[in-house]
Amino acid sequence: MAEHESLEFGKADFVLLDNVSMEEFMGNLKLRFEKGRIYTYIGEVVVSVNPYRAMNIYGRDTIEQYKGRELYERPPHLFAIADAAYKAMKRRSKDTCIVISGESGAGKTEASKYIMQYIAAITILIKGLKSKG
């Protein structure tokens, strides 16, 4: 499961809710949001809540934390989804896609930018390692 996510932050994956109800779902989402956790999994899907403020969770350090890791090794994040898609694409040698859905103003464009930032960063890192070896 998501590394080092204590129950203080709610459940990192909605699949782990004791009772599946709208009240439990929204309560967990609200708790995580209030604790600064804008991403929560539902299995292999990530639900994100637009924080409507800048957050320091997309820099080089965060990229390094998610690069090459399995989906549940780290707390929920767009970078985990991006890394899983990238690895699947490389493993299968086929194109892949990430579906981003939501209402107007939900942050879809920003999510797309962060995913592309991550893919570009890890691609550059991987090419740099190959050229040294």
Q: Which residues are annotated as a binding site for ATP?
A: 102-109
Question: Residues within the annotated binding site?
Answer: 102-109
Cβ contact 63:57 at 8 Å: no
**Which contiguous run of DSSP H or E holds residue 45?**
strand 45-48
Using DSSP's 3-state secondary structure scheme, residue 40 falls into: strand
Phi and psi at 51, nearest 5°, equal: -80, -10
Distances (CA, A) of 111 to 49, 92, 101, 105: 11, 25, 10, 11
According to DSSP, residue 13 is labeled B
